[in-house]
């Protein structure tokens, strides 16, 4: 059976969304980010530096998975693996799509996430640290170019292949961090419509409902 390590309020949400799309049963092991806990750490909470989790992922980051003995880290890579293993329309149809899905996932991680995460940290939450509006504003400006690129790509409704795939999940979950900057989406109407459609999917809504049950 697939085991997913990580709380819903983490990048594990990407893997849980995909598992929901695939109808894939999984065991969920909540692992909390250490920075979200206050000392003394509760004895009954497994966190990213707990010995039992470090035995799974010595990097001490979530998410991780154990898929019948295949242990993987890095949320976007996990999704690419799961989509290819379990097949269906979310998976690449051929080698070209496989490369494109990897390309878009790496693009999201390199071009979008370093900036979109700063919008979350400095417009929404910064784990108790002071927020800096200037950092958020700089992130918005840095994302205008990538959003223009994505706007053209999703004009047909999907990232690639004319259908919803794992690439849409991977990119959408990174772009989600920028939703506290509505001005970005007003300037990229195709991105706005595409993200709304992704987040309207029942598998996403199921994941989000469980996420809302977790403490912020």
Ordered DSSP codes for 112-172: IHHHHHHHIIIII--TTSPP-HHHHHHHHHHHHHHHHHHHHHTTTSSSSTTS--HHHHHHH
Whole-number pLDDT of residue 127: 60
Q: Which of the 8 DSSP states describes residue 8? A: S
**Which residues in the chain come in under a pLDDT of 70?**
126-128
Q: Where in the chain is the domain with CATH 3.40.30.10?
A: 2-88
- As a whole number of angstroms, the distance between CA 159 and CA 87 comes to 18
Task: Please give the model's pTM, rounded to 2 decimal places.
Answer: 0.95
Whole-number pLDDT of residue 215: 84
The CATH number of the structural domain formed by 2-88 is 3.40.30.10
The CATH number of the structural domain formed by 95-203 is 1.20.1050.10
Whole-number pLDDT of residue 202: 98
Cis-peptide, bond into residue 116, ω within 30° of zero: no
Whole-number pLDDT of residue 130: 81
Whole-angstrom CA distances from 88 to 7, 83, 93, 96, 199 are 27, 8, 9, 16, 20
Q: Where in the chain is the domain with CATH 1.20.1050.10?
A: 95-203
Whole-number pLDDT of residue 126: 63
């Amino acid at each position: 059976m697939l085991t997913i390590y990580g709380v819903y309020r983490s990048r594990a949400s990407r893997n849980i969304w995909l598992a929901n799309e695939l109808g894939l049963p999984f065991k969920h092991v909540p692992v909390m980010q250490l920075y979200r806990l206050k000392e003394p750490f509760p004895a009954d909470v497994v966190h990213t530096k707990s010995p039992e989790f470090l035995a799974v992922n010595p990097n001490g980051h979530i998410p991780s998975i154990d898929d019948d003995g295949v242990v993987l880290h890095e949320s976007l890579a996990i999704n690419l693996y799961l989509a290819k293993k379990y097949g269906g329309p979310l998976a690449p149809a051929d080698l070209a799509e496989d490369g494109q899905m990897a390309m878009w996932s790496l693009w999201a991680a390199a071009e979008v996430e370093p900036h979109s995460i700063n919008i979350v940290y400095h417009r929404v939450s910064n784990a108790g640290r002071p927020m800096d509006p200037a950092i958020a504003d700089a992130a918005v400006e840095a994302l205008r170019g990538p959003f223009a690129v994505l706007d053209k790509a999703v004009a047909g409704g999907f990232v690639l292949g004319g259908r919803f795939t794992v690439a849409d999940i991977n990119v959408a979950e990174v772009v989600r961090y920028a939703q506290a900057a509505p001005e970005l989406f007003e300037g990229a109407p195709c991105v706005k419509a595409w993200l709304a459609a992704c987040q309207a999917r029942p598998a996403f809504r199921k994941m989000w409902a469980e996420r809302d049950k977790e403490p912020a």
